[in-house]
Structure 1
Amino acid sequence: MAITYKNGVAQTELAEWHNTGRQTIYSWFKRLDTDGSLEQAVTDTHQSGRKQNLSEK
């Protein structure tokens, strides 16, 4: 997706392709624009919130 954007496809069009909002696309690019590894950029960090309804099993 980032390569497609670098080749001139607008964020709005990428959002339509991925059935999401433009702000989500912007957030994804912001995560990629770090000094960390690509693996860190594409991995979600732990977030607090409601407990899961399903167990890991």
Structure 2
Amino acid sequence: MARLEGVPVADLLDALDAATSAKATKRLMVAVLYKRGHSVPVVADWFGMRENTIYAWFDRLEAEPIEQAVRDRPRPGRPPKLDENERRELDATLHEPPTAAGYDADAWSVSLVRRHIAETYDVEYTHRHVRNLVDDAGVSS
């Protein structure tokens, strides 16, 4: 039985036109090349990939909407040290000047945010992770 029989190449091409990530583009290109008659071993060689990876993508394309199938599935990771309420509270705090939180500073720095998190939530984060939290909050530091 051939793969992707129920997935029209026109739908793949439409999704390819709308793709915004390199991964989605690559996955769609692989599927289009396959649908146009190239074998999985040949396409795998062209892209420097394992055939099993391509077959796994095809399984998803057959089972899920194209837009969903070409994205990575969420991967479980370590649970966050700050819960959702604490994270919202931190975001709100970062949108106020540091003086509102009792600090003698004109603007938030990553070091100051890191100190605030440690003092307020008893949580230690790396400098890089705090930078990500600040960026996620939409605050410049």
Greater fraction of residues in helix: 2
Match status 1:4 vs 2:30: no
- Unaligned runs of at least 5 residues, structure 1: none
The partner residue of 2:48 within 16, 19, 24 is 19
After TM superposition, which residue ranges in structure 1, 4 or more long, deviate above 6 angstroms?
none
Q: For the pair shown, which has the larger CA radius of gyration, 1 or 2?
A: 2
Q: 1:48 to 1:11 in 2, by over 3 A?
A: same
Q: How does 1:21-36 map to 2 (within 5 A)?
A: 21-34=50-63, 36=64
Match status 1:46 vs 2:74: yes
- Unaligned runs of at least 5 residues, structure 2: 1-29, 80-127, 133-141
**Normalization by structure 2: what TM-score?**
0.33
Summarize deviations over 1:1-47 as a string: whole Å, max 9, x none. 2121122111001111110111111111111112x322111122222
**Normalization by structure 1: what TM-score?**
0.71
Calculate the aligned-residue CA RMSD, in Å: 2.4
Q: 1:23 to 1:50 in 2, by over 3 A?
A: farther
- Identity in percent: 37
Q: 1:46 to 1:2 in 2, by over 3 A?
A: same
The residue matched to 1:8 in structure 2 has which SS? coil
